[in-house]
Chains A and B, each alone.
Chain A
Amino acid sequence: MTKTPTPNSPDEQQLIANLIAGDDRAFCEIITRFQHIMITIARAICGDTFADDVVQDAWMAIHKNICKFEQRSSLKTWVITIVSNEAKARLRRESRKVSLDELDGETPGSYLDSTQFGQDGHRIAPTQVWHIESPEQLLEEKQLQRCINKTLSILPPAQKAAFLLRDIEQQSFEDICEVLQVSAANVRVLIHRARLTLMQVIDRYQETGTC
């Protein structure tokens, strides 16, 4: 994982000290923070059937091994590595293969749909104009927030995992490849597709004011 040492902030160091001391409140805090990304990673690697189990096992491993955490990476990176390893191990045990069919084909009506382009690769229809372009103003739109979160919840698992790891958790592309066991090129495609799906939500919202 991350090769350069990531110095943990003072707050983070205090949290780690509390975790090592066995403080339940501190442990609840990291569950609150990381449960969602952990489930997302587990689903992307070994599918829905085993995800809950894998995350439970990962939490038990974290609880048991937190005293050995040497802070060579951030707490987040460490936690992500543990759940990723648990999920990969489960996948091997069940000798299953999860195919990344999310990478195949085109979603009709998406920006990448080839019917959007002429034979020469030029756009057939102009890009929609947004009447709200300022991020600050967009962030005021509560209905848009609901639409985005709804779409995020139904994104294909690997797209969602790659997107969350990159755009929310700020993990490096290199780390994401390792966590999800996907090639660099495929990680980039997954992130791009997720962003485009979310951009389409904003498109629709700009036009109709609804999801």
Chain B
Amino acid sequence: MLSCKDVTHLASDYIDNNMSGTLPWKMRLHLVACRCCRRFVKHLRITKKVVPQFVDNNLSEADAEAILKKIKAPD
């Protein structure tokens, strides 16, 4: 039987389908029985879905032009 601590450590592997053998089954067994871990895994799934849509990693055009200038004429 997995403990809540195990589930907390393994939660990303579980939602990424990165588990083999009987582990996914053991996770499901714990999740059926434990409401807190069920909520924890649910929140992790929401986090995985939402965070990437929040992230804006694009550079400004001016910054990109400055970098290009440097590439073309390195000092």
Q: Number of A interface residues, CB 8 Å?
A: 49
In contact, B18 and A167 (Cβ under 8 angstroms): no
- A182 on the interface (CB 8 Å rule)? no
Given contacts A135-B50, A144-B54, A198-B51, contact A117 B4 (CB under 8 A): yes
Q: Name the B residues within 8 Å of A122 (CB-CB).
A: 3-5
- Tell me if B46 counts as interface (CB < 8 A to partner A): yes
Nearest-neighbour CB distance to chain A for B10, whole angstroms, equals: 9
B49 nearest CB across to chain A (Å)? 5
Q: Are A59 and B39 in contact (CB under 8 A)?
A: no
Asked if A28 contacts B65 (CB within 8 A), the reply is yes
Chain A residues lying within 8 Å of B31, measured Cβ to Cβ, are: none
Q: 1/0 per residue A156-195: CB within 8 Å of B? A: 0000000010011000010000000000000010011001
Q: Is the CB of B5 within 8 A of A149?
A: no
- Report how many residues on chain B are interfacial, defined by Cβ distance under 8 Å: 45
Q: Determine if A145 is an interface residue (Cβ-Cβ < 8 Å).
A: yes
Neighbouring A residues of B51 by C-beta, 8 Å? 148, 152, 167, 195, 198
Q: Which residues from chain A contact B59 at a C-beta distance below 8 Å?
A: 31-32, 35-36
Binds B, one of A43-51, A68-76, A123-131: A123-131
Closest Cβ of chain A to B17, distance in Å, is 11
Give the nearest-CB partner of B12 in chain A: A192
Complex contacts, A21 vs chain B, CB 8 Å: none
A32 to chain B, nearest CB (A): 5
Residues of B within 8 A of A127 (CB): 36-37, 39-40, 43
Contact indicator per residue, chain A 112-153, by CB within 8 Å of chain B (1) or not (0):
101011001111001101100101001100001100110010
The answer to whether B32 has its CB under 8 Å from any CB of chain A is no
Closest CB-CB distance, A133 to chain B, in whole Å?
Answer: 6
Contact A129-B4, Cβ < 8 Å, known A36-B58, A60-B71, A188-B18: no
* 8 closest residue pairs by CB, A with B: A121-B3, A192-B12, A121-B5, A36-B57, A31-B64, A199-B47, A28-B64, A123-B4
**16 A-B pairs, CB-CB below 8 angstroms?**
A32-B60, A32-B63, A35-B67, A36-B57, A111-B40, A112-B9, A121-B6, A123-B34, A133-B42, A139-B50, A145-B54, A167-B48, A168-B57, A195-B12, A198-B51, A199-B47
